[in-house]
Amino acid sequence: MDLPLTIKDAAAGLRSGEYSSAELTAGFIRKAKELNPTLGAFITFIEDGAMSAAAAADANLAGGVDTGPLMGIPMAVKDIIATADAPTTANGLVLDPAWGAGYDATVVSKLRAAGAAITGKLVLNEFAIGQPDASKPFPMPQNPWDLERSASGSSSGTGIAVAAGLVLGGLGTDTGGSTRGPSSFNGHSGIKQTFGRVSKFGCVPLGYSLDGINPMARSAYDCAVILQAIAGYDPQDPCSVDVPVPDYVAALNGSVAGVRIGIPTTYFFDVPELDAEVKAGVLKSVEILKAAGAVIVNVMIPYAAEAKDANTIIMVSEAAAYHRPDLGSMFDTYGKFTSQVLARGVLFSGADYVQAQRFRSYFKKVIADVMSQVDVLIVPTSTTTAPKRAEMNPGMMLTQPSFTGIWNLTGMPALALPTGMSEAGLPMSMQIVGKPWDEAMVLRVGDAFQQLTSHHLNVPPIAAAVAV
């Protein structure tokens, strides 16, 4: 069978009787098992559980019960999120095997309640912070567009699985760009929602005050459907905020007429590290939205470079705090890149952390002033397309500009989505950044753009060649 590309199309096919959820889920699992030895997306398959969920979805549809657009949809989750039917490893050997055993994270419970068929647990950078280490017994993530290139991280497996069509959607996490980076390098959509919008209960922490669990899918529409299912207050998560959840799908009206889009040229478009093709792709996308009726506003975001540094200091300091009990006794059990980053976090002082948090409070006020002029911002997601893994090193995150961690620092929603392909045949990406709690506007602009373009429907040749 020809597998659908999007949740939207799959949901329509299920309801029209084009295929059953059992057929759909089995097809995605076959494709994932065929490509996983090459792409390294899955750590664990949950085939029996997924097929049981698919059978339940088919029975519900036959009985006139519809739990919503995720019913019968094959999905998978980053292996840092607890699932009752599979172990959680965080892609490492340090985590106690009993961690997360026997229960679902809140987001997983919500996906199951929505009728999703969870097909497995996905590869990540160890504990969401270390680069992949080939000496450890986990699959090595490979970019489906070019196997020599990075799939980014830390939600690399989710990015690969979505881009290669091994699932229709998945969950990643994001502390400094770990959802949007893989979305950028692998060529699909992914949203970091407002901090506190989605429960983190049942997820191994990286940075307590920065983390989020996020939808990753081919389109902004599909991300809206997933976010609708997982959003909402959860008293089990002390960071969860009790605010109303809007109807994200209803907000996708296809129009950007009158929407004010801020373009912050300084830092985001003028750093020398920004690839010319990536920059041109973002600016061309802005012109498409302008032609559709959006109003372009030039804005200035001061201290962006300092904001990137503050995010890094807070992230690695909070990570070191979580891992401190294990670093002394199990240092060599961590992957070599993970232990390096965590050791760096130990070197920051309490004063460094406090100063970064003081800056954070000030910077949020600065950004609020900027956002009072516009509805959204548009900036690149990454400075380049996916680099070759052999050319990467752990120090890159310290020395290179970042366009993603800034929005973790402020807690604002940010959607990454494709802007086209480079001359080398690699995906390029931009971010749509919104006001706190206004994911609806971010998704609306992203969906409108994707109704005018087809970049999000590009499929890597390695995946397109597989028949199921």
Share of the chain above pLDDT 70, in %: 99
pLDDT digits (tens, 9 = 90+) for 353-411: 999 999 999 999 999 999 999 999 999 999 999 999 988 876 666 788 999 999 999 99
Q: What is the mean pLDDT of residues 337-365?
A: 96
Q: How confident is the model at residue 398, as a pLDDT? A: 72
- % of the chain beyond a pLDDT of 90: 96
Distance CA 99, CA 103 (A): 10
Specify whether the CB–CB gap between 7 and 28 falls below 8 A.
no
Q: What is the pLDDT, as a whole number, of residue 397?
A: 66
pLDDT at site 335: 96
Mean pLDDT of 70-80: 98
pLDDT (mean) for 81-105:
97
Residue-averaged pLDDT of the chain: 97
CATH architecture of 7-314+336-464: Alpha-Beta Complex (3.90)
pLDDT reported for residue 464: 87
Question: Does the predicted TM-score (pTM) go above 0.85?
Answer: yes
The confidence score (pLDDT) of residue 348 equals 96
Q: Region 207-226: what's the mean pLDDT?
A: 98
Active site residues: 78, 154, 178
What ranges do the domains of the chain cover? Answer: 7-314+336-464
- Mean pLDDT confidence for 111-128: 98
Q: What are phi and psi of 198, to 5 degrees?
A: -120, 135
Q: What is the mean pLDDT of residues 55-67?
A: 97
Segment 123-172, tens digit of pLDDT = 999 999 988 899 999 999 999 999 999 999 999 999 999 999 999 999 99
